[in-house]
Amino acid sequence: MLDARSRWTPYWQAAPLALVFLVFFVLPLAITFMVSFWTYTGYSIEPAFVGDNYASAFDKCFASLPDLCTTFRTYLSTLKFCLLVWLITLVLGFTIAYYLVFEIKSPTTRIVLALLTTIPFWTSNVIRMISWIPLLGRNGLVNQALMGAGITHEPVDWLLYSSFSVTLSLVHINTVFMIVPILNSMSRIDRSLIEAAYDNGASAWQTIWNVIVPLSKTGIAIGSIFVVTVVMGDFISIGLMGGQQIASAGKVIETQITALQFPIAAANAIVLLAVVLMIIWTLLRLVDIRKEL
């Protein structure tokens, strides 16, 4: 009797979360997958089972190789931002976390500084992005300063509505997603390991590379997953800061949704999901998060 009950207890305990996942994650995803095979008109969607939406998502993609089709170009551009933002946030996040954990001796100061990194989160993403615009614009503060200092005579155009401004705002928004998990992993590193490394004659760089990095791998992997998934699905930052001139997978989906072409938008969402899952799968192959937690 007791045995039977205890055998079921973990399932009951997990049930609420499982239910939430089912209703808010699995179900919508299943519906999206289903709709991606439907047909549509300008005002309705009809149940069907056709591959047309996937075919038009990859319209002329293979025939026109080596020239890249719209879809491939869009993904390439999104992946480029993804890689760039990932690298920058990784370096920044790692450095900041390292500083907080190993350079700051007082725990109070450490907590205060760690909280400081989250202050930008007190306002919304969009506001944080928009606030760059008066700074970087053609007549913005940066350009006025550059011209005032005599560094340039013409305003610099590439500061805003460019790959630069998109990368800048994405880094601005996502760095904290790297800091927090890395900070978490680093603070669990046993200090005696570092002392041992020094005692054995390792230089500071050798210690970082051979001791701290491997032991922070879980945090790096979790931070990377955050950053990669956010950037791959982003269309607001890329739209606002890129002056809507830079395509992103999310923007394509959004345009199709506003044109009421839900099935083809669903097909593109499934493609995007597949790409992101592949990236995450690769990441998980490199780091076994569960083992190292």
Partner 1 sequence: MKKSDKSGLSRRTLLKGSAAFAGFVGTQAVTGFPAVHADEPITLRYLSTATNQSPAIAAKAKEVTGINIEYVTVTTDDVTKRIVTQPDSFDLVDTEYFSLRNLIPSGNLMGIDAKKVKLVDKLATAMTKGEVDGKKIGNQGTAPNKVFYLEKQRGKEFAKEPTDWITLIPTTYNADTLGIRPDLIGRPITSWAELLNPEFKGKASILNIPSIGIMDAAMVNEAMGKVKYGDKGNMTKEEIDKTIATLIEAKKAGQFRAFWTDFNESVNLMASGETVIQSMWSPAVTAVRLKGIPCTFQPLKEGYRAWASGFGLPRTLKGKQLDAAYEFINWFLSGWAGAYLNRQGYYSAVLETAKENMEPYEWAFWMEGKPAEKDILGPDGGLLEKAGSVRDGGSYVERMGAVACWNSIMDENAYMVQKWNEFIAA
Measured between alpha carbons, how far is 156 from 99 in angstroms, rounded to an integer? 34
Does 124 contact partner 1 by CB under 8 A?
no
3-state secondary structure of 234: coil
Does 288 interact with partner 1 (rule: CB under 8 A)? no
**Which residue, 71 or 175, has its beta carbon nearer to partner 1?**
71
Q: Which two tokens stand for residue 177?
A: 């997603």
Among 156, 194, 255, 292, which residue sits at the site for partner 1 (rule: CB under 8 A)? 255
Region near partner 1 per CB under 8 A, out of 29-37, 95-103, 136-144, 167-175: 136-144
Roughly what angle, to the nearest 10 degrees, separates helices 163-187 and 217-233? 150
Q: Are 207 and 155 in contact (CB under 8 A)?
A: no
Number of residues that bind partner 1 (CB under 8 A): 33
Tell me which of 90, 113, 133, 146 binds partner 1, using CB under 8 A: 133
Q: Which of 232, 247, 269, 271 binds partner 1 (CB under 8 A)?
A: 247
Binding status of residue 251 toward partner 1 by CB under 8 A = yes
> Rule CB under 8 A: is residue 73 a binding residue for partner 1?
yes
39 lies in the binding site for partner 1 (CB under 8 A): no
β-sheet bridge partners, residue 39: 46
Q: Cα–Cα distance between 59 and 42 in angstroms, integer?
A: 20
Residue 120 is classified by DSSP as: G
Binding to partner 1 by residue 188, rule CB under 8 A? no
Site of tokens 């390292």: 98
Which of 57, 44, 74 is CA-nearest to residue 266?
57
Contact characters 190-209, partner 1, x per CB under 8 A: --------------------
d(CA 59, CA 48): 20
Distance in angstroms (rounded) separating the CA atoms of residues 233 and 125: 14
Candidate list 16, 42, 47, 107; residue touching partner 1; CB under 8 A:
42
| Site membership for partner 1, residue 43 (CB under 8 A) | yes
Task: Check binding of 32 to partner 1 (CB under 8 A).
Answer: no
Instruction: Tell whether residue 258 is a contact of partner 1 (CB under 8 A).
Output: yes
Pairwise CA distance, residues 239 & 257, whole Å: 16
Nearest Cα to 100, choosing from 84, 86, 116? 116
Q: Does 46 bind partner 1 (CB under 8 A)?
A: no
Return residues touching partner 1 (CB under 8 A).
40-44, 56, 59, 70, 73-74, 77, 133-134, 137-139, 157, 160-161, 243-245, 247, 251-252, 255-261, 264
